[in-house]
Amino acid sequence: MSVREAILMSCLVVLGVVNYRERSADNRSRLAALLRREEAIAREVAALHHRGRALRREADALAHDRYYVERVARADLGWRPSPFRDPGIAPPLEPPTAIVQAPPPVFPQPVAPAPRPPAPSPAPAPTPAPVLPAPRPDPAIVQQAIAALGYESAEHFQSKMMGGRSLGQLDTPTLARAQQLNALLRQLGYNSVKSFQQRNRLTADGIMGRRTEQRALDLLRRRAPRRSRGYLADSGR
């Protein structure tokens, strides 16, 4: 082999190595771009899955949770429930009023004006009665009513069963709500939340939640579909 041929072979080898390195660098950059694109697509898919689960939970709440529907109506439509009926029952239709024909007009005869009586003296304004503060319930009674429903704290009970109210205070609305749920169980003939859940194929965790209350309301409506008083009337407030 001559010197020229050796130089030519060396040049070809060098060119091949340079070309291989360039192609390798190009392939690595393309692979890195594809990996970044794959990660971005994976994040988008995870976000879509999360959004889908949120929409399914919202659809389930709209279909089964009457309190969630009430909150949505309050927030979006400014709706206020009537204190005299269940918000889920449509109001009765009013009967059409009969059309009464007006009698023919009667023109009055001219009468001499009577003398005006003297204006009465203004009466003194009544003194407003003092407003007394409403008595607060006994905290022990409130805690006992909440514990009967399976809750350990007033804040947990309020956040789950009072439309997002989570002040943690043992006040009158909390006692009224807890007594209302206990009365609902007693109307159905149960002494505990857990026994009701076991008899009605619910998760027997001993906690009076939305699903347990909804199941109890369904049973109460089946037993008394035309009931206008009691828990069904109080729950519309």
Long-range pairs for 134-143 at CB < 8 Å and ≥24 separation?
134/172, 136/171, 136/172, 137/170, 137/171, 137/172, 137/175, 139/170, 141/175, 142/170, 142/171, 142/174, 142/175, 142/178, 143/170
Is the pLDDT at 236 greater than 70, yes or no? no
Is the pLDDT at 110 greater than 50, yes or no? yes
Q: What is the pLDDT of residues 66-75, one digit of tens each?
A: 888 878 777 7
CA pair distance 98, 78, nearest whole angstrom: 34
CA pair distance 219, 223, nearest whole angstrom: 6
- Among 9-18, 107-116, 161-170, name the one with the lowest average pLDDT: 107-116
Is the pLDDT at 184 greater than 70, yes or no? yes
Is the pLDDT at 113 greater than 80, yes or no? no
Which of 69-73, 87-91, 140-144 is the most confident on average?
140-144
Q: If pLDDT is split at 50, 70 and 90, which confidence band does 49 have?
A: very high
The conformation of residue 202, written as its DSSP 8-state character, comes to: S
- Among 29-33, 61-65, 107-111, name the one with the lowest average pLDDT: 107-111
Q: What is residue 55's predicted lDDT score, i.e. its pLDDT?
A: 92
Q: What is the pLDDT of residues 219-231, one digit of tens each?
A: 888 877 554 445 5
> Dihedral sign, CA of 160, 165, 168, 172?
negative
Average pLDDT rounded to a whole number, residues 32-38: 93
Q: Are 191 and 180 in contact (CB under 8 A)?
A: no
Q: Are 146 and 178 in contact (CB under 8 A)?
A: yes
162 or 150, which is more confident: 150
Q: If pLDDT is split at 50, 70 and 90, which confidence band does 115 have?
A: low
Q: What is residue 89's predicted lDDT score, i.e. its pLDDT?
A: 44
